[in-house]
Chains A and B, each alone.
Chain A
Amino acid sequence: MINFNRFKLDNGLTVLVHEDHTTAMAVVNILYKVGARDESPEQTGFAHLFEHLMFGGSVNIPNYDAPLQSVGGENNAFTSNDITNYYITLPSDNLETAFWLESDRMLSLAFSEQSLEVQRQVVCEEFKQRYLNQPYGDVYLKLRPLAYKVHPYRWATIGKELKHIENAKMEDVKSFFHKFYTPQNAIMVVAGDVTLEEVKALSEKWFADIPAGNAYERNLPQEPKQEEARQEIVEADVPVDAIYIAFHGVERLSPDYYTTDLISDLLSRGSSSRLYRSLVKENQLFSEINAYMMGSIDTNMFVVEGKPLAGVSLEEAEQHIWKELKKIKSEKVEESELQKVKNKVESTMLFAELSILDKAMNLAFFEMISQAEDYNQEVAKYAAVTADDVQRVAKELFSRENSSTLFYKSKEKENAE
Chain B
Amino acid sequence: MLNRTIAPDFKEIKGINLVEPEKLVYPNGLKAFIFQAPDLDLIKLEFTFDNILLKEQLAILNPVLSSMLKEGTKTLTSKEIADTVDFYGAYLMPEYSFDQSSLTVYTMHKYVDKVLPILADILQNSNIPQSELDTNIRNNKQSLQISLQKNDVIARRNFYKEVFQGTRYGVLPTEEIYDSISRDAILALYRRQIQPSNCNLFVAGNVDDKIKNLISTFFGQEWENKEEFYKPAIIEFGSYTTELYIEEKPDALQSAVRLGGLTINRRDADFPALQFVNTLFGGFFGSRLMRNIREEKGYTYSIGSYIGNLRHTGFITIASEVGVDVTKQTLAEIQKEFEILRQEKTSEDEIGLVRNYMQGMLLGSLESIFSHVDKFKAVYFSGLDTDYYSYYSDVIKNMDASKVQDIAIRYFDYDKLFKVVVGKI
Q: Considering only CB atoms, which chain B residue lies closest to A125 in the complex?
A: B301
**Whose C-beta in chain A lies nearest to the C-beta of B92?**
A271
**Which 8 pairs of residues, A with B, have the shortest CB-CB distance?**
A72-B360, A121-B298, A343-B89, A347-B89, A271-B82, A272-B82, A96-B8, A60-B4
Q: A272-B86, A343-B108, A351-B42 are in contact. List 20 more A-B contacts (CB 8 A).
A: A23-B366, A24-B366, A60-B5, A69-B353, A73-B357, A73-B360, A74-B361, A91-B363, A91-B364, A117-B298, A120-B298, A122-B298, A125-B301, A135-B146, A271-B82, A271-B86, A340-B86, A344-B86, A351-B106, A356-B367
Q: Are B145 and A240 in contact (CB under 8 A)?
A: yes
Q: By CB atoms of chain B within 10 A, which of A107, A119, A272 has the most?
A: A272
Give complex CA distance A347, B42 in Å: 8
CB distance from B111 to the nearest CB of A (A): 8
With A128-B254, A347-B89 given, is the CB distance from A280 to B139 under 8 Å? yes
Contacting pair B7 A280 (CB below 8 A): no
Name the residue of chain A whose CB is nearest to the CB of B249: A133
- Measured CA separation A134–B148 after assembly (Å): 11
**Contact across chains for A70 and B10 when beta carbons are under 8 A apart:** yes
Distance of A347 Cα from B363 Cα, bound (Å): 26
B295 within 8 A of A: yes
B360 touches A71 (CB 8 A): yes
Structural contact, A97 and B367, CB atoms closer than 8 A? no
B86 contacts A281, CB within 8 Å? no
Q: Which residues of B in the span 12-63 have a Cβ within 8 Å of any Cβ on A?
A: 12-14, 41-42
B120 to nearest A CB, angstroms?
Answer: 19
Interface range for A: 35 or more
CA gap between A94 and B359 in the complex, in Å: 13
A23 (CB) vs chain B CBs: closest residue = B367
The residue in chain A whose Cβ has the minimal distance to the Cβ of B143 is A287
Whether A209 is near chain B, meaning CB under 8 Å from some CB there, is: yes
Number of interface residues of B (CB under 8 A): 73
Establish whether residues A25 and B142, one from each chain, have CB atoms under 8 Å apart when the complex forms. Answer: no
Residues B352 and A70 in contact, CB atoms below 8 Å apart: yes
What residues of chain B lie closer than 8 Å to A351, measured between beta carbons? 42, 106
Are A354 and B321 also in contact (CB < 8 A) when A71-B10, A91-B14 are?
no
Q: Is B226 an interface residue (CB 8 A)?
A: no
Flag whether B91 is at the interface (Cβ < 8 A).
yes
Q: Is residue A118 within 8 Å, beta carbon to beta carbon, of the partner chain?
A: yes
* Pairwise interchain contact A209-B2, C-beta atoms closer than 8 A: yes
Q: Which residues of B contact A407 (CB under 8 A)?
A: none
Are B91 and A347 closer than 8 Å at their CB atoms? yes
**B residues with CB within 8 A of A:** 2, 4-5, 7-14, 41-42, 70, 78-79, 81-83, 85-91, 106-108, 135, 138-139, 142-143, 145-146, 148-151, 251-254, 284-286, 294-302, 321-323, 352-354, 356-357, 359-361, 363-364, 366-368, 370
Q: How far is the CA of A121 from the CA of B298 in the complex (A)?
A: 5
A74 and B81 alpha carbons, distance in the complex (Å)? 41
CB neighbours of B148 from chain A (8 A)? 239
Interface residues of A in 296-335 (CB under 8 A from B): 307, 309-310
B-chain residues with CB within 8 Å of residue A123 when the two chains form the complex: 301
Q: Which residues of A contact B90 (CB under 8 A)?
A: 347
Query: What is the CB-to-nearest-CB distance from A249 to chain B, in angstroms, rounded to a whole number?
Result: 23
Q: Which residues of A contact B322 (CB under 8 A)?
A: 125
User: Which of A66, A91, A354 touches B360 (beta carbons < 8 Å)?
Assistant: A91
Question: Could you tell me which residues of chain A, from 261 to 306, have a CB within 8 Å of some CB in chain B?
Answer: 269-273, 277, 280-281, 284, 287-288
Q: Of residues B85, B352, B354, B370, which shows the largest number of chain A Cβ atoms within 10 Å of its Cβ?
A: B85
Residues of B within 8 A of A93 (CB): 11-14
User: Which residues of A from 25 to 81 have beta carbons under 8 Å from B?
Assistant: 25, 59-61, 65-67, 69-74
Instruction: Assess the A125–B299 pair: CB atoms within 8 A.
Output: yes
Of the A-B pairs whose beta carbons lie under 8 Å apart in the complex, a sample of 24, sorted by A's number, is A23-B367, A61-B4, A66-B353, A69-B284, A69-B285, A69-B354, A69-B356, A71-B360, A73-B357, A74-B364, A89-B364, A121-B299, A122-B301, A125-B300, A133-B254, A135-B149, A240-B146, A271-B78, A277-B79, A281-B79, A288-B142, A343-B89, A347-B91, A348-B89
Q: How far is the CB of A263 from chain B (nearest CB, A)?
A: 16
Contact with B along A103-118 (1 / 0, CB 8 A): 1100100000000011
User: Which B residues touch A24, using CB under 8 A?
Assistant: 14, 363, 366
Chain B residues whose C-beta falls within 8 Å of the C-beta of A237 in the assembled complex: 149, 251
Contacts of B78 in A (CB 8 A): 271, 281
Residue of B at shortest CB range from A122?
B298
Least CB distance from A202 to B in Å reads 9
Cβ–Cβ contact B87 & A336, under 8 A: yes
Tell me if A's interface is mostly helix, strand, loop or mixed.
helix
A132, CB-defined interface residue at 8 Å? yes
Q: Which residues of A contact B (CB under 8 A)?
A: 23-25, 59-61, 65-67, 69-74, 89-91, 93-94, 96-97, 99-100, 103-104, 107, 117-123, 125-126, 128-130, 132-136, 205-206, 209, 237-240, 269-273, 277, 280-281, 284, 287-288, 307, 309-310, 336, 339-340, 343-348, 350-351, 354-356
B292 smallest CB distance to A (angstroms): 11
Nearest-neighbor residue (CB-CB) of B149 within chain A: A135
In angstroms, Cα B353 to Cα A128, docked, is 32
Q: Which residues of A contact B83 (CB under 8 A)?
A: 272, 340
**Contact across chains for B364 and A347 when beta carbons are under 8 A apart:** no
- Pairwise interchain contact A107-B4, C-beta atoms closer than 8 A: yes
Nearest opposing residue in chain A for B91, CB measure: A347
Task: Given A122-B298, A133-B151, A271-B70, check contact A90 B11 (CB 8 Å).
Answer: no
- The answer for the CA separation of A277 and B88 in the assembled complex, in Å, is 18
Q: Which residues of the partner chain B approach A339 to less than 8 Å between Cβ atoms?
A: 87
Query: Whole-angstrom distance from the CB of A149 to the nearest CB of chain B?
Result: 29
A122 contacts B294, C-beta separation under 8 Å:
yes
A287 to B138, CA, bound (A): 8
Output the nearest chain A residue to B88 by Cβ-Cβ distance. Answer: A343
Residue from B13, B89, B149 with most neighbouring chain A CB atoms (10 Å): B89
With a cutoff of 8 Å between Cβ atoms, the chain A residues found around residue B146 in the complex are 135-136, 238-240, 307
Residues of B within 8 A of A66 (CB): 286, 353
Residue of B nearest to A103 (CB): B4
Shortest C-beta distance, B366 to chain A (Å), equals 8
Query: Residue on A with the closest CB to B70?
Result: A271
Q: Does B357 lie within 8 Å of A74, measured CB to CB? A: yes
Given contacts A280-B135, A347-B106, whether A100 and B87 have CB atoms under 8 Å apart is: no
Q: Which residues of A contact B321 (CB under 8 A)?
A: 125, 128-129, 133
Contacts of B12 in A (CB 8 A): 93
Tell me the nearest residue of chain B to A310, going by C-beta.
Answer: B142
Report which residue of A97, A238, A347 has the largest number of chain B beta carbons within 10 angstroms of its beta carbon. A347
- A307 proximity list for chain B (CB < 8 A): 142, 146
Q: Across the interface, do A354 and B139 meet the contact criterion of CB distance under 8 Å?
A: no
> How many angstroms from the CA of A269 to the CA of B86 in the assembled complex?
9
